[in-house]
Amino acid sequence: MNEAGHGRAGGKLILLGEHGVVYGRPALAAGLARGTTVTVRRGAGPVVVSDRAEVAADPRPVRVLVDAAPLFGLAARDLLVEVRSELPPGVGFGSSAAFTVALLRALAALAGRGLSLADELALGRRLEAAFHGTPSGIDPAAAALGSCFAFERGEPPVVRPVRPGAALPLVVAWDGRPRSTGQAVGALRARWEADRARYERLFDAVAIVVGQGTRAVESGDLAALGVAFDANQALLAELGVSSPEVERLVAVARDAGAFGAKLTGGGAGGAVIALVRDAHAVAGALARAGAHTLVATIENQAEAA
Ligand code: MEV
Protein backbone atom coordinates (compact mmCIF):
# COMPACT_ATOMS: atom_id res chain seq x y z
CA MET A 1 0.00 0.00 0.00
CA ASN A 2 1.18 3.52 -0.81
CA GLU A 3 1.37 6.41 1.70
CA ALA A 4 -0.49 8.83 -0.57
CA GLY A 5 -2.57 8.49 -3.72
CA HIS A 6 -2.95 11.21 -6.34
CA GLY A 7 -5.64 11.55 -9.01
CA ARG A 8 -6.60 14.19 -11.53
CA ALA A 9 -9.60 14.55 -13.84
CA GLY A 10 -10.83 17.31 -16.12
CA GLY A 11 -14.03 19.31 -16.30
CA LYS A 12 -16.38 19.33 -19.27
CA LEU A 13 -18.51 21.37 -21.59
CA ILE A 14 -21.76 19.90 -22.85
CA LEU A 15 -21.99 21.08 -26.45
CA LEU A 16 -25.49 19.75 -27.13
CA GLY A 17 -28.18 17.67 -25.44
CA GLU A 18 -28.01 18.34 -21.67
CA HIS A 19 -31.15 17.28 -19.78
CA GLY A 20 -32.42 15.19 -22.73
CA VAL A 21 -29.50 12.86 -21.95
CA VAL A 22 -31.01 12.12 -18.52
CA TYR A 23 -34.06 10.78 -20.45
CA GLY A 24 -32.08 8.51 -22.76
CA ARG A 25 -31.48 10.91 -25.64
CA PRO A 26 -27.99 11.45 -27.12
CA ALA A 27 -25.71 14.31 -26.14
CA LEU A 28 -22.37 15.69 -27.26
CA ALA A 29 -19.68 16.80 -24.80
CA ALA A 30 -16.00 17.62 -24.62
CA GLY A 31 -13.49 17.37 -21.80
CA LEU A 32 -11.74 20.47 -20.51
CA ALA A 33 -8.02 20.65 -19.73
CA ARG A 34 -8.94 22.56 -16.56
CA GLY A 35 -9.66 20.10 -13.82
CA THR A 36 -9.42 18.90 -10.26
CA THR A 37 -6.54 17.22 -8.43
CA VAL A 38 -7.16 15.00 -5.40
CA THR A 39 -4.60 13.67 -2.93
CA VAL A 40 -5.60 11.00 -0.41
CA ARG A 41 -3.45 10.35 2.67
CA ARG A 42 -3.83 8.19 5.73
CA GLY A 43 -4.98 10.03 8.87
CA ALA A 44 -7.96 10.60 11.16
CA GLY A 45 -10.86 11.06 8.76
CA PRO A 46 -13.09 11.15 6.95
CA VAL A 47 -11.96 14.71 6.14
CA VAL A 48 -12.06 16.64 2.85
CA VAL A 49 -10.19 19.95 2.66
CA SER A 50 -10.09 22.16 -0.43
CA ASP A 51 -8.63 25.37 -1.83
CA ARG A 52 -12.27 26.22 -2.72
CA ALA A 53 -14.31 27.28 0.28
CA GLU A 54 -17.53 26.01 -1.38
CA VAL A 55 -16.09 22.47 -1.62
CA ALA A 56 -14.73 22.48 1.93
CA ALA A 57 -18.13 23.62 3.26
CA ASP A 58 -20.11 21.05 1.23
CA PRO A 59 -20.95 17.76 3.04
CA ARG A 60 -21.36 15.83 -0.22
CA PRO A 61 -17.65 15.26 -1.02
CA VAL A 62 -17.29 13.49 2.36
CA ARG A 63 -20.33 11.34 1.48
CA VAL A 64 -18.71 10.40 -1.82
CA LEU A 65 -15.51 9.50 0.05
CA VAL A 66 -17.45 7.32 2.51
CA ASP A 67 -19.14 5.49 -0.40
CA ALA A 68 -16.02 5.20 -2.56
CA ALA A 69 -13.32 4.14 -0.06
CA PRO A 70 -14.66 0.58 0.60
CA LEU A 71 -14.64 -0.09 -3.16
CA PHE A 72 -10.85 -0.09 -2.82
CA GLY A 73 -10.68 -1.96 0.47
CA LEU A 74 -10.15 1.30 2.39
CA ALA A 75 -12.02 2.84 5.35
CA ALA A 76 -12.99 6.50 4.98
CA ARG A 77 -12.40 7.09 8.71
CA ASP A 78 -8.67 6.54 8.03
CA LEU A 79 -8.47 8.97 5.11
CA LEU A 80 -7.67 12.66 4.63
CA VAL A 81 -8.51 14.12 1.24
CA GLU A 82 -7.10 17.32 -0.23
CA VAL A 83 -8.82 18.84 -3.27
CA ARG A 84 -7.37 21.49 -5.59
CA SER A 85 -9.68 22.62 -8.36
CA GLU A 86 -9.45 24.97 -11.32
CA LEU A 87 -13.20 24.55 -11.88
CA PRO A 88 -15.61 27.01 -10.27
CA PRO A 89 -18.44 24.93 -8.76
CA GLY A 90 -22.09 25.46 -9.66
CA VAL A 91 -21.34 26.85 -13.13
CA GLY A 92 -21.68 23.89 -15.52
CA PHE A 93 -18.05 22.80 -15.83
CA GLY A 94 -18.64 19.39 -14.23
CA SER A 95 -16.69 20.13 -11.05
CA SER A 96 -18.55 17.42 -9.05
CA ALA A 97 -17.77 14.74 -11.62
CA ALA A 98 -14.15 15.87 -11.95
CA PHE A 99 -13.82 15.57 -8.15
CA THR A 100 -15.49 12.16 -8.18
CA VAL A 101 -13.29 10.69 -10.93
CA ALA A 102 -10.12 12.27 -9.49
CA LEU A 103 -11.01 10.78 -6.08
CA LEU A 104 -11.53 7.32 -7.63
CA ARG A 105 -8.10 7.59 -9.29
CA ALA A 106 -6.46 8.76 -6.04
CA LEU A 107 -8.05 5.95 -4.01
CA ALA A 108 -7.00 3.37 -6.61
CA ALA A 109 -3.45 4.73 -6.48
CA LEU A 110 -3.40 4.65 -2.65
CA ALA A 111 -4.68 1.07 -2.62
CA GLY A 112 -2.31 0.05 -5.43
CA ARG A 113 -5.26 -1.11 -7.53
CA GLY A 114 -6.07 -0.71 -11.20
CA LEU A 115 -9.10 1.26 -12.41
CA SER A 116 -10.47 0.66 -15.90
CA LEU A 117 -12.32 3.23 -17.99
CA ALA A 118 -15.46 1.09 -17.62
CA ASP A 119 -15.07 1.26 -13.81
CA GLU A 120 -14.60 5.03 -13.94
CA LEU A 121 -17.78 5.46 -16.00
CA ALA A 122 -19.91 3.15 -13.86
CA LEU A 123 -18.59 4.20 -10.43
CA GLY A 124 -18.42 7.86 -11.46
CA ARG A 125 -22.12 7.86 -12.34
CA ARG A 126 -23.12 5.93 -9.21
CA LEU A 127 -21.18 8.20 -6.86
CA GLU A 128 -22.25 11.39 -8.65
CA ALA A 129 -25.77 10.63 -7.48
CA ALA A 130 -24.65 12.20 -4.16
CA PHE A 131 -24.63 15.53 -6.03
CA HIS A 132 -27.83 15.11 -7.98
CA GLY A 133 -30.33 12.29 -7.87
CA THR A 134 -30.56 11.07 -11.45
CA PRO A 135 -27.26 11.71 -13.26
CA SER A 136 -26.95 10.43 -16.81
CA GLY A 137 -23.24 9.75 -16.35
CA ILE A 138 -22.14 12.17 -19.07
CA ASP A 139 -20.16 14.37 -16.65
CA PRO A 140 -18.00 11.55 -15.21
CA ALA A 141 -17.55 10.22 -18.77
CA ALA A 142 -16.11 13.60 -19.81
CA ALA A 143 -13.92 13.69 -16.71
CA ALA A 144 -12.65 10.19 -17.47
CA LEU A 145 -12.18 10.66 -21.24
CA GLY A 146 -11.10 14.29 -21.60
CA SER A 147 -11.95 14.45 -25.32
CA CYS A 148 -14.98 15.12 -27.56
CA PHE A 149 -17.57 12.33 -27.55
CA ALA A 150 -21.19 11.42 -28.20
CA PHE A 151 -22.96 9.82 -25.23
CA GLU A 152 -26.11 7.85 -24.48
CA ARG A 153 -26.85 6.74 -20.96
CA GLY A 154 -27.03 3.05 -20.09
CA GLU A 155 -25.30 0.28 -18.19
CA PRO A 156 -22.81 0.54 -19.75
CA PRO A 157 -23.35 3.86 -21.55
CA VAL A 158 -22.72 4.21 -25.28
CA VAL A 159 -19.67 6.43 -25.70
CA ARG A 160 -18.46 7.26 -29.21
CA PRO A 161 -15.40 9.47 -29.82
CA VAL A 162 -16.21 12.40 -32.12
CA ARG A 163 -13.41 14.02 -34.08
CA PRO A 164 -14.19 17.62 -35.07
CA GLY A 165 -13.59 18.30 -38.77
CA ALA A 166 -12.36 21.77 -37.75
CA ALA A 167 -11.29 23.29 -34.44
CA LEU A 168 -14.29 24.66 -32.52
CA PRO A 169 -13.54 28.10 -31.05
CA LEU A 170 -15.78 28.69 -28.02
CA VAL A 171 -16.26 31.48 -25.55
CA VAL A 172 -17.69 30.38 -22.21
CA ALA A 173 -19.33 33.05 -20.01
CA TRP A 174 -20.94 32.94 -16.58
CA ASP A 175 -22.13 35.48 -14.07
CA GLY A 176 -20.48 34.00 -10.97
CA ARG A 177 -23.67 33.18 -9.05
CA PRO A 178 -23.55 29.43 -8.37
CA ARG A 179 -26.70 27.43 -9.00
CA SER A 180 -27.60 23.80 -8.50
CA THR A 181 -27.72 21.20 -11.28
CA GLY A 182 -29.63 18.96 -8.84
CA GLN A 183 -32.39 21.56 -8.49
CA ALA A 184 -32.63 22.13 -12.26
CA VAL A 185 -32.78 18.37 -12.94
CA GLY A 186 -35.29 17.80 -10.10
CA ALA A 187 -37.61 20.64 -11.17
CA LEU A 188 -37.60 19.38 -14.77
CA ARG A 189 -38.43 15.87 -13.51
CA ALA A 190 -41.49 17.26 -11.68
CA ARG A 191 -42.65 19.01 -14.89
CA TRP A 192 -42.05 15.78 -16.89
CA GLU A 193 -44.08 13.77 -14.33
CA ALA A 194 -46.94 16.25 -14.76
CA ASP A 195 -46.96 16.17 -18.59
CA ARG A 196 -44.83 13.36 -19.97
CA ALA A 197 -46.12 13.62 -23.55
CA ARG A 198 -45.06 17.27 -23.88
CA TYR A 199 -41.58 16.72 -22.42
CA GLU A 200 -40.95 13.50 -24.36
CA ARG A 201 -41.74 15.47 -27.57
CA LEU A 202 -39.28 18.17 -26.55
CA PHE A 203 -36.59 15.56 -25.75
CA ASP A 204 -37.18 13.98 -29.18
CA ALA A 205 -36.68 17.40 -30.76
CA VAL A 206 -33.45 17.85 -28.76
CA ALA A 207 -32.24 14.45 -30.03
CA ILE A 208 -32.74 15.57 -33.66
CA VAL A 209 -30.75 18.76 -33.01
CA VAL A 210 -27.97 16.75 -31.32
CA GLY A 211 -27.76 14.52 -34.42
CA GLN A 212 -27.59 17.54 -36.75
CA GLY A 213 -25.03 19.29 -34.54
CA THR A 214 -22.84 16.18 -34.22
CA ARG A 215 -22.71 15.84 -38.00
CA ALA A 216 -21.81 19.56 -38.22
CA VAL A 217 -18.95 19.01 -35.73
CA GLU A 218 -17.64 16.04 -37.73
CA SER A 219 -17.76 17.94 -41.02
CA GLY A 220 -16.33 21.13 -39.48
CA ASP A 221 -19.40 23.18 -40.50
CA LEU A 222 -19.37 25.93 -37.87
CA ALA A 223 -22.39 27.77 -39.34
CA ALA A 224 -24.52 24.60 -39.09
CA LEU A 225 -23.26 23.93 -35.57
CA GLY A 226 -24.20 27.50 -34.60
CA VAL A 227 -27.73 26.84 -35.89
CA ALA A 228 -27.83 23.68 -33.74
CA PHE A 229 -26.66 25.66 -30.67
CA ASP A 230 -29.49 28.17 -31.17
CA ALA A 231 -32.10 25.46 -31.80
CA ASN A 232 -30.95 23.58 -28.69
CA GLN A 233 -31.13 26.78 -26.62
CA ALA A 234 -34.73 27.39 -27.78
CA LEU A 235 -35.67 23.85 -26.70
CA LEU A 236 -33.85 24.23 -23.35
CA ALA A 237 -35.93 27.39 -22.77
CA GLU A 238 -39.11 25.40 -23.55
CA LEU A 239 -37.95 22.72 -21.10
CA GLY A 240 -37.79 25.51 -18.49
CA VAL A 241 -34.07 25.25 -17.70
CA SER A 242 -32.96 28.60 -19.13
CA SER A 243 -33.03 31.82 -17.09
CA PRO A 244 -33.16 35.57 -17.77
CA GLU A 245 -29.40 35.82 -17.13
CA VAL A 246 -28.66 32.98 -19.58
CA GLU A 247 -30.90 34.61 -22.21
CA ARG A 248 -29.10 37.93 -21.69
CA LEU A 249 -25.62 36.43 -22.15
CA VAL A 250 -26.80 34.38 -25.17
CA ALA A 251 -28.14 37.59 -26.78
CA VAL A 252 -24.89 39.48 -26.07
CA ALA A 253 -22.85 36.68 -27.68
CA ARG A 254 -25.09 36.53 -30.76
CA ASP A 255 -25.04 40.33 -31.15
CA ALA A 256 -21.24 40.23 -30.98
CA GLY A 257 -21.17 37.86 -33.98
CA ALA A 258 -21.29 34.34 -32.51
CA PHE A 259 -22.45 31.57 -34.87
CA GLY A 260 -24.77 30.43 -32.07
CA ALA A 261 -24.98 30.33 -28.28
CA LYS A 262 -26.65 28.25 -25.59
CA LEU A 263 -26.48 27.32 -21.95
CA THR A 264 -24.20 24.42 -21.04
CA GLY A 265 -24.78 21.87 -18.27
CA GLY A 266 -27.59 22.07 -15.75
CA GLY A 267 -28.73 25.57 -16.74
CA ALA A 268 -31.10 27.67 -14.60
CA GLY A 269 -28.22 30.15 -14.60
CA GLY A 270 -24.63 29.01 -14.90
CA ALA A 271 -22.49 29.08 -17.99
CA VAL A 272 -23.28 29.91 -21.60
CA ILE A 273 -21.16 28.68 -24.52
CA ALA A 274 -20.87 30.64 -27.75
CA LEU A 275 -19.41 29.21 -30.95
CA VAL A 276 -17.41 32.05 -32.41
CA ARG A 277 -15.47 33.31 -35.38
CA ASP A 278 -13.68 36.03 -33.40
CA ALA A 279 -13.16 34.96 -29.79
CA HIS A 280 -11.70 38.34 -28.83
CA ALA A 281 -14.79 40.30 -29.95
CA VAL A 282 -17.29 37.96 -28.30
CA ALA A 283 -15.32 37.54 -25.06
CA GLY A 284 -14.90 41.33 -24.89
CA ALA A 285 -18.65 41.94 -25.31
CA LEU A 286 -19.47 39.34 -22.65
CA ALA A 287 -16.91 40.79 -20.23
CA ARG A 288 -18.37 44.29 -20.76
CA ALA A 289 -21.76 42.75 -19.95
CA GLY A 290 -20.31 41.77 -16.57
CA ALA A 291 -19.59 38.05 -17.20
CA HIS A 292 -16.54 35.97 -16.36
CA THR A 293 -15.18 34.51 -19.59
CA LEU A 294 -12.99 31.65 -20.75
CA VAL A 295 -11.83 31.05 -24.32
CA ALA A 296 -11.63 27.35 -25.15
CA THR A 297 -10.92 25.61 -28.43
CA ILE A 298 -12.11 22.05 -28.95
CA GLU A 299 -9.35 20.65 -31.13
CA ASN A 300 -9.74 17.35 -32.94
CA GLN A 301 -8.58 15.55 -29.78
CA ALA A 302 -9.15 17.77 -26.74
CA GLU A 303 -9.69 21.30 -25.59
CA ALA A 304 -6.74 23.63 -25.11
CA ALA A 305 -7.94 26.34 -22.76
C1 MEV B 1 -25.25 18.29 -16.27
O2 MEV B 1 -23.92 18.64 -16.62
C3 MEV B 1 -25.94 17.63 -17.43
C4 MEV B 1 -27.38 17.21 -17.16
O5 MEV B 1 -27.85 16.64 -18.38
C6 MEV B 1 -27.49 16.22 -16.02
C7 MEV B 1 -26.90 14.87 -16.37
O8 MEV B 1 -26.79 14.52 -17.54
O9 MEV B 1 -26.55 14.14 -15.42
C10 MEV B 1 -28.27 18.42 -16.85
**Mean of per-residue pLDDT scores for the chain:** 94
- Residue with CA at minimum distance from ligand 1 atom 9: 135
- Asked if pLDDT for residue 303 goes beyond 80, the answer is no
Helix (DSSP H) and strand (DSSP E) numbers for the chain: 10, 10
pLDDT confidence of residue 299: 86
- More reliable by pLDDT, 215 or 176: 215
pTM: 0.94
- pLDDT tens, position by position, 140-157: 999 999 999 999 999 999
Cα(136) to centroid(ligand 1), Å: 6
R_g over Cα of the chain: 19
Q: Is the peptide bond before 135 cis (omega within 30 degrees of 0)?
A: no
Measured distance CA(28)–CA(26) in Å, rounded = 7
Is the CB of residue 18 below 6 angstroms from any atom belonging to ligand 1? yes
- Run of H or E including 204: helix 196-219
- Asked if pLDDT for residue 304 goes beyond 50, the answer is no
pLDDT confidence of residue 201: 98
What percentage of the chain has pLDDT greater than the value 90?
A: 87
Cα(135) to centroid(ligand 1), Å: 6
- Asked if pLDDT for residue 301 goes beyond 60, the answer is no
pLDDT confidence of residue 52: 92
pLDDT confidence of residue 168: 96
- pLDDT tens, position by position, 47-87: 999 999 988 889 999 999 999 999 999 999 999 999 999 99
Residue 30: beta bridge partners? 13, 148
Cα(184) to centroid(ligand 1), Å: 9
- Residue with CA at minimum distance from ligand 1 atom 2: 265
Residue 273: beta bridge partners? 172, 262
- More reliable by pLDDT, 1 or 275: 275
- Asked if pLDDT for residue 177 goes beyond 90, the answer is no
Cα(121) to centroid(ligand 1), Å: 14
Is the CB of residue 152 below 6 angstroms from any atom belonging to ligand 1? no
pLDDT confidence of residue 90: 87
Residues 69, 265, 123: CA angle, nearest 5 degrees: 20
Residues 62, 67, 70: CA angle, nearest 5 degrees: 120
Cα(60) to centroid(ligand 1), Å: 17
Query: Which is the closest atom of ligand 1 to the Cα of 17?
Result: 5
